[in-house]
Amino acid sequence: MIEIFYMGGPLFMSILTLLLIGVLISAWKYPEWLKEVGLLALAIGVLGQIIGLYSAFQFMEASGGVSQEIMAGGLKVSSITTAYGLIIYVISLILRIVVKPRVQ
């Protein structure tokens, strides 16, 4: 599990983990912010993927040609942050459904 954290990039994965903690805290303290924190996690995840793809394409451009295996590996690694952000967003939506009766 920790390998996936480092593969996704410590910076973006740390930010997303803090947002996961924010989602869990806002579920009980600030339920009206729950969806927004989840959306922020999704946006940060997509931003992490775009930056990861940019650096992968930059490497491919510098090295000339790359094999399909390297290309597939780069795409796999770049999608880790998006998947983590999407998971956090889904958690925020589930918590919003559970907490919603308390908000009204």
| Mean pLDDT score, 28-33 | 87
Instruction: Using the predicted structure, report yes or no on whether residue 29 has a pLDDT greater than 80.
Output: yes
CB-based contact 37:17 (threshold 8 Å): no
Compare 85 and 55 and report the one with higher pLDDT.
85
| Ordered DSSP codes for 26-49 | HHHS-GGGHHHHHHHHHHHHHHHH
Q: What pLDDT score was predicted for residue 102?
A: 59
Instruction: Using the predicted structure, report yes or no on whether residue 65 has a pLDDT greater than 80.
Output: no
Mean pLDDT over all residues of the chain? 88
Phi-psi region of 9 (alpha: psi -120 to 50; beta: other; left: phi over 0): left
Q: What pLDDT score was predicted for residue 100?
A: 74
